[in-house]
Structure 1
Amino acid sequence: MSSATPQPRTLDHPDLAEIRLEDVLHALSDPARLQVVHYLAHGDEASCSAIDLAVSKSTSTHHFRVLREAGVIRQVYRGTAKMSCLRREDLDTLFPGLLEAVLRAYETRCVRRA
């Protein structure tokens, strides 16, 4: 009988050197993805279900995948929950000021709409 411990599920993330500006800008170009980034910018990490997006579950999954594959967020499994956090330090290292400018613009737009 084998006593091998099952390996935790892992997700692919680009290494710091693989993160490209055009991929990050594309990921940040969608309002739902901006909502996710804004939410994560104001906390440590969150499960995908904690962020209330006005889209279907499959579309939400797509948005999180785009953000992860672009290097904007990091996702890990904790039990059955997929937890996400913003790769703020990595993005600030590669593109100083970009994330803050995007978040400021998003917040300004939200205030104007209110």
Structure 2
Amino acid sequence: MYYTYILRCSDNSLYTGITADINRRMSEHFSQNEKCAKYTRTHKAAKLESVWISENRATASKLEYHIKQLTKKQKENIISDKSLALLSKIIPIGNYKYSDIELNIQSK
């Protein structure tokens, strides 16, 4: 199982990524340790906005790619709608399930 996610940073910018372990990855982003993305090292992660679950890395990577091509306004629409309807003409959105995941992040 893979997760495609959108993070909101403290400067209100949005970061999109994928992971197989959402708790570990969020811990890395929020702690700004050496394993976090370069972007979240300089733009402090503030909130996990949306998460979609897919069966494999290839499917998750396709969603990540298509989300990264969107404008910020389009990404905000995806976050508020909790839907990938905007991408339905590009990718088979049935391959993705929105998740209201509960994070278990431990501070170091």
Work out whether the TM-score is over 0.5.
Answer: no
In terms of fraction of residues, the more helix-rich structure is: 1
In terms of fraction of residues, the more strand-rich structure is: 2
| TM-score, structure 2 as length reference | 0.26
Larger radius of gyration: 1
